[in-house]
Structure 1
Amino acid sequence: MILRFLKTNQAYHFVTIPLLVLILWFRAYLNPESFDFFAGEDQMLLFRPFAAVVKWSPLVANLLLIGQVLILTFFITRLNSVFSFIRQRTFLPSNLFVLILGGVVSMHGLHPVYFAAMFLLLSINRIFGAYEIKKPNSNAFDAGFLIGLGSLFYLNLIFYFPIVWIGFVLIRKNPGWRNFILPLLGLSIPWLYAFSYYFFTDTLADFGQTIQQNIFTSNNFLQGNLNFQIYLGLLILLTLIGSTFLIARIDEKKVSTRKYFQIFFIVFIISMAILLAVPAVSQEILVIMAIPLVFLFSNYLIFMRMQLWANVFVYLLLAMVIYMQFG
């Protein structure tokens, strides 16, 4: 069965995952197209060099994207390997991540959100690493710094900063004041350098306009997009099933595992809030939202007793992903 193949911890996944990415992203290199950015979306300071690549060669930009997706799958696998919150070494989260993003065909062009997802994963890694450490000062600073750095690629990542404070409240029994001040300091440093750059180049007004465009530009991405509505509905349904399964068995989990899944839940809630509250946010938020979802889905698929339904789950997702390639 396909689920048995996807959830193994065998080295062949280092070949099959890139192969799966190449198959699902086939349009990105057979018929390369640039992502249709709205004004300012590709103009955050650290993404601007990549925006130039997109204009110069969509093919090169999309190949960079494929490499970035593979890096994200590596980070996802490593996160579970280091902290073992699924209690099983498996490549299933990475495989599910590729499948979920494979179905969002409109996001198969280079976009700043992929950089944001990478920095968010690194930040979560530093938050998780603070568990039971006597002095997690460097973890606190790094977690905030990584969010700040990522937000200079994709502005709306800055709205995930509360996850650092919430994470330390959940992870630490008695978080000290440094656990709140150091992340804020870390967040501020990249932005201080950004403001300095725009100040000395006399382009602060342009920076302000870019920030405004990345928040207030109206983006009604669901309107008239029936296929994406169905796909999003399927992901929501699977999320509800996975959440119900996790809640029913949460007492069986280790204390650290409960805390890790609570942090993932907050990431998901913030993603939903941003999607509803920030006019400029559209389907790209699924790249970030997929991070907590793949761990939630993996927990459900690995530990549910009736593996028949687990396989139905996977086949349904796979069928919808294939349909989205041609729908």
Structure 2
Amino acid sequence: MLTFFRTNQIFSSIFLIFYIALLRFSVFLAPFKWNPSGQGIFSEWVYGWVGSQDAGSHLLAMVLLLVQGFLLNVLTINNRLSNEVNLFPGVFYVLFCSLLPDFLYLSPVLMGNTFFILALLNLFDTYKNPACADKIFNAGFLTGVASLFYFPFVFFFIVLMAGLNILRAFNIQERLMVVIGMFVPFFLTGLYFFWFDKLDFFWQHQVAGNVAFLSFGAGLIGWEHYLKIFIFALAMLYAVVNNNDYLIKKNIQVQKKISILFWVLVAAGMAAIFQAGLTFEHLLMLAPSLGVFFGLSFTAMRPQWAESIHFLMVVGALTLQFFPWLF
């Protein structure tokens, strides 16, 4: 299966749709008890149009995953993050976004990831680019839009600032562009609600209602909850331990861009501390970085080992999805 995506044809990413269908068909057969959490104003609007647990929302989630997998492959290939051109980052992004039953729905985090990946594309394009004011502003603007779907994306301001520090010399004007870019979506949306005399509603549902200190939605009440945390903790540990492998024999530009992806893990962890009613979907914020890291790792493996381990990961994901239904 993995061999099929060992190609340098970026538009072959369209075949990810079959991989997505394999990993997410259980949502139609054995639906997991799930309700949206942490949704922002934009997420609520989307749910008003397509619902949160209807067939339409499931199909939209699959389409978003396809687009996001394609964008992550573009990010990796255009920035030469891998020594070999292939579509593995998109494959592992889809796998991580389908790994737990909690992830199989049209969650606010999944919607927000679309805009954050676009923000990363713009941020990476600023390296040694003297005329990149639009890219810097767009990175902030898109991250602001992502946070209107899922508020904790506002903490990815840290990623943007760290990224500019890594990729460019310090320039206060560029930092202000990021701040203004992130502020504009909030300002325009707030202006809309102010016009209809609903500014308090916007503040409560977008900001105040999404901020709390160490607030967990359902708590950790079963072994399966600890297993889910363990899986992602192990994935993060694997990425950190293999950091040198991602950087070795890479030029300075690539090393800098890979280091920014580690800042995504840091910012997502900080956001978890202050998110009200934290649920497992928050882990989807890690998926773009983990997708790239595991794509790089499996590219470096011997093909037989890569195929075998990937197969076991797919079987593990499907087992987790059907386990609550079977038992």
User: What is the TM-score normalised by the length of structure 2?
Assistant: 0.88
How has the CA–CA distance of structure 1 residues 155 and 239 changed in structure 2, closer, same or farther, with 3 Å as cutoff?
A: closer
For the 8 Å contact 2:247–2:258, the answer to whether it is kept is no
> How big is the shift at 1:300?
1.6
Once the two structures are TM-superposed, the CA of residue 71 in structure 1 deviates from its matched residue by 0.8
1:36 and 2:35 aligned: yes
Partner Cα separation in structure 2 for residue 54 and residue 214 of structure 1: 23
Contact 1:76 1:121 survives alignment (8 Å): yes
1:47 CA drift (Å): 2.3
CA–CA separation in structure 1 for the residues paired with 2:10 and 2:242: 29
Equivalence map 1:138-149=2 (5 Å): 138-149=134-145
Please report how far the alpha carbon of residue 107 of structure 1 lies from its aligned counterpart in structure 2 after TM superposition: 2.1
Please state whether the residue corresponding to 2:280 is helix, strand or coil: coil
Aligned 8 A contact 1:33 1:58 in 2: no
Instruction: Give the deviation of 1:79 after TM superposition.
Output: 0.7
**Aligned-pair CA distance for 1:118:** 0.8
Query: Residue in 2 aligned with 1:4?
Result: 3
Residues in 1 aligned to 2:135 and 2:90: alpha-carbon distance in whole angstroms? 25
Deviation at 1:123, TM superposition (A): 0.7
Which of 297, 302, 305 aligns to 2:299? It is 302
Shift in Å at residue 93 of structure 1? 1.0
The answer for the alignment partner of 1:283 in structure 2 is 280
Kept in 1, the 8 Å contact 2:209–2:276? The answer is no
Q: Distance in 2 between matches of 1:245 and 1:154?
A: 30
Equivalent pair of 1:116/1:154 in contact (CA under 8 Å): yes
> Compared with structure 1, are the counterparts of its residues 80 and 251 closer, same or farther at alpha carbon in structure 2 (3 Å cutoff)?
closer
Partner of 1:26: 25
Aligned residue for 1:102, secondary structure, equals coil
Query: What letter matches 1:132 in structure 2?
Result: K
Superposition deviation, residue 10 in structure 1: 5.3
Equivalent pairs, count: 321
Q: Cα RMSD (Å) of the superposition?
A: 2.5
Secondary structure (helix, strand or coil) at the match of 1:109 reads coil
1:130 paired to 2:129: no
Change beyond 3 A, Cα 1:227–1:13: farther
Name 2:196's counterpart in structure 1.
Answer: 201
Amino acid at match of 2:104: H
Partner AA of 1:67 in structure 2: V
Partner of 1:115: 111
Structure 1 residues 265-318: Cα deviation after superposition (integer angstroms, max 9, x where no partner): 0001111222244343321122220110111112222124x5555445424422
Bigger shift: residues 23-32 or 192-201: 23-32
Secondary structure, counterpart of 1:198 in structure 2: helix
How far apart, in 2, do the equivalents of 1:264 and 1:10 lie?
24
Q: Which residue pairs with 1:227 in the alignment? A: 224
Q: Which amino acid aligns with 1:120?
A: F
What is residue 17 of structure 1 aligned with on the other side? Answer: 16
Shift of 1:171: 0.5
Q: Offset at 1:32? A: 6.4
Q: Gapped runs of 5+ residues in structure 1? A: none
Where does residue 171 of structure 2 map in the other structure?
A: 176
1:321 maps to what in 2?
Answer: 317
One-letter identity of the residue aligned with 1:97: Y
**AA partner of residue 87 (structure 2):** F
CA contact (8 A) 1:54 1:110 kept: no
What's 2:82 paired with?
Answer: 86
Of residues 143, 162, 166, the one that matches 1:166 is: 162
Q: Deviations over 1:243-282 (max 9, x none)?
A: 3233256342210111111100000111122224434332
Query: Does the Cα contact within 8 Å between 1:9 and 1:91 map onto a contact in 2?
Result: yes
CA contact (8 A) 2:152 2:272 kept: no
Contact 2:93 2:292 in 1 (8 A): no
Q: Which of 186, 190, 214 is equivalent to 1:191? A: 186
Q: Does 1:240 align with 2:237?
A: yes
Q: What is the TM-score with the length of structure 1 in the denominator?
A: 0.88
- Offset, 1:56: 8.5
> In 2, distance between residues paired with 1:245 and 1:316?
20
Tell me, in whole angstroms, the C-alpha distance in 2 between the residues paired with 1:242 and 1:151.
Answer: 26
Unaligned 5+ segments in structure 2 are none
SS in 2 for 1:161: helix
Deviation at 1:11?
A: 7.3
Matched, 1:150 2:149: no
Change (3 A) 1:237 1:204: same
Report the more deviating stretch, 293-302 or 313-322: 313-322
The alpha-carbon distance between structure 1 residues 277 and 287, as it changes in their structure 2 partners (threshold 3 A), is: same
The 8 Å contact of residues 140 and 160 in structure 2, kept in 1 or not, is answered as yes
Deviation at 1:31, TM superposition (A): 6.2
**2:250 aligned residue:** 253
Query: With CA pairs under 8 Å and 6+ residues apart, which has the higher RCO, 1 or 2?
Result: 2
CA distance in 2, matches of 1:77, 1:235: 22
